[in-house]
Amino acid sequence: MLKVLHRIPRVMVIQETSVQPGRDKLQGIFNYAHLYGPWNIHLIHGRSGEQRPKGLDVLRGYDGIIIGQMMLELEEALGRVSRPTVLIDPLDEALRPGSRFARLSYTRDDSAQVGKAGAEYFLERGHTRFAYVGDALNRNWSIRRGESFSNRLAEAGYACDIYPARRKSAAGADDSHVLAEWLLGLPKPIALLAAMDTRACQVLELCEAIGVRVPQDLSVLGIDNDELICNGSVPTLSSIRRETEHCGFMAAGMLDRLMRRETRKREVFLYGVKEIVTRDSTRTCPLSDDPVAKKAREFIRVNACVGIGVPDIVKHLNVS
């Protein structure tokens, strides 16, 4: 039977907010609390100077906990505290048998659906060559996205180049030089899916440095639709928008049911793709490869907001 709450519950939310998906998840949690709360929410989002609770005594002061980012200094305490707890996008290590978190309910990205969506997006646009760039640390969620992308392409009769190989890089290691060489060696034109927007931006930066044209030579699609990153890149980045806000909403619902003792069963919710936002990095159009025309386009693009006219373009090109 649904338990009636006798006071406003105190809920701790550990959720990174430096990137769009984290903010979306938090918005989903807030949306649920506004509809079915209220809740008193204590947010921990990893900012400098933030006051973080330490130890079991502090954690016991909360009625429920949502963990959207693993805090190593809190891991042991969070695993031992007897409070309703829900995980958001836990890493595989957190779910392994014997882990303190393996018994908990969680919401998780459906990496297979994300990779498949990327493949179908490119197939619908008539591409016949494909590549995938995984997370620099080659984490399992990144590997799963790449495998799903590659498998869907294989079903359609196409191969896929994958970077990096199945190995884990050292934390913080810079693979830009190796990745640039790999990008240069790809057959062109080609469509590339990156594991996340920040990785896709790295690809765009490297392409500019090594002379690979985007999207003419390389169409680039990211994952997360972080608008700050996507709209700030050159060219602007197309990206897969996941159901991250719905993920937060569902995690809050799971926690509410646990706090009200409506259920004690472990629940699992997989969230997928909401939409794919097309921007310049995949928006191809028939443009002349004539070097004079290319030089003119670049001049216009760089100076479009300073009032240039035809005479300025002619002077720049040194033509009549």
pLDDT band with cut points at 50, 70 and 90 for residue 313: low
Longest dimension (CA), the chain: 84
pTM of the predicted structure, to 2 decimals: 0.85
Q: For the segment 28-81, what is each residue's pLDDT rounded down to a tens digit?
A: 999 999 999 899 999 988 665 566 666 656 677 899 999 986 655 566 777 677
pLDDT band with cut points at 50, 70 and 90 for residue 121: very high
Separation CA 117–CA 84 (nearest Å): 34
Comparing 63-67, 159-163, 240-244, 253-257, which segment has the lowest mean pLDDT?
63-67
At the fourth CATH level, the homologous superfamily of domain 10-109+243-273 is Response regulator (3.40.50.2300)
Domain 111-241+277-282 class in CATH: alpha beta
User: Is it true that 10-109+243-273 and 111-241+277-282 share their CATH fold?
Assistant: yes
Read off the tokens for 173: 């290691």
Which of 253, 121, 277, 133 shows the shortest CA–CA distance to 193?
Answer: 133
**C-alpha pair distances (Å), 284 with each of 21, 126, 166, 288:** 27, 11, 32, 12
Domain ranges of the chain: 10-109+243-273, 111-241+277-282, 288-320
